Amino acid sequence: MKFRIGTGYDVHRLAENRQLIIGGVNIPYHLGLLGHSDADVLTHAIMDAILGAAGLGDIGLHFPDSDAIYKDANSLCMLSEVGKILNKEGWAIENIDATIIAQAPKLSPFRDKMIQNISQALGIPATSVNIKATTEEGLGFTGAGQGIAAQAVCMIKGKE
């Protein structure tokens, strides 16, 4: 077996008249994330971590924001497609560890559903996905409530 690691990072601005979707969960909040797709920062960071580990570029390469087909796209559907691309290339996900960085809202009540959504989209056990959330204690753009960010790392295994 050969193992590889990839990292991912994504950030989106908070805006009015948008849904707040993180990890495929629609979270009740007065602001949502602004982006071409559903702007799901967690799922986007995970996709980049997976693609990076396999040396397959990034989500911009596979799902360009210049393509109207991805306007308001469901990021879990794109994640599922990334999983298929990975498997086609002979790789399998060993584990994913991700952190959401947001001052508000409180995300811990939604953690289990996020894990379930991500594991189902990728066809991997929920025990292979870990999600954490943190604040930045009022510091920076996330601490000021202007946006939400996410970081992810993914280990893949394959035969080479």
The predicted-structure confidence for 1-26, as pLDDT tens digits, reads as follows 799 999 999 999 999 999 999 999 99
Long-range contacts formed by 10-18: CB under 8 A, 24+ apart:
10/41, 10/42, 10/44, 10/45, 10/48, 10/149, 10/150, 11/41, 11/141, 11/142, 11/147, 11/148, 11/149, 11/150, 12/39, 12/41, 12/147, 12/148, 13/146, 13/147, 14/145, 14/146, 14/147, 14/148
The structure's pTM equals 0.96
Q: Count the domains in the chain.
A: 1
CATH number at residue 139: 3.30.1330.50
Q: Which residues pair with 102 in a beta bridge?
A: none
pLDDT for 36 beyond 80:
yes
How far apart CA 144 and CA 146 sit, in angstroms, is: 6
Residue-range definition of the domain harbouring residue 105 = 2-158
91 neighbors 50 (Cβ within 8 angstroms): no
pLDDT for 30 beyond 90:
yes
pLDDT for 160 beyond 70:
no
For 81-109, what is each residue's pLDDT tens digit?
Answer: 999 999 999 999 999 999 999 999 999 99
pLDDT of residue 64: 83
pLDDT of residue 66: 84
22 neighbors 41 (Cβ within 8 angstroms): yes
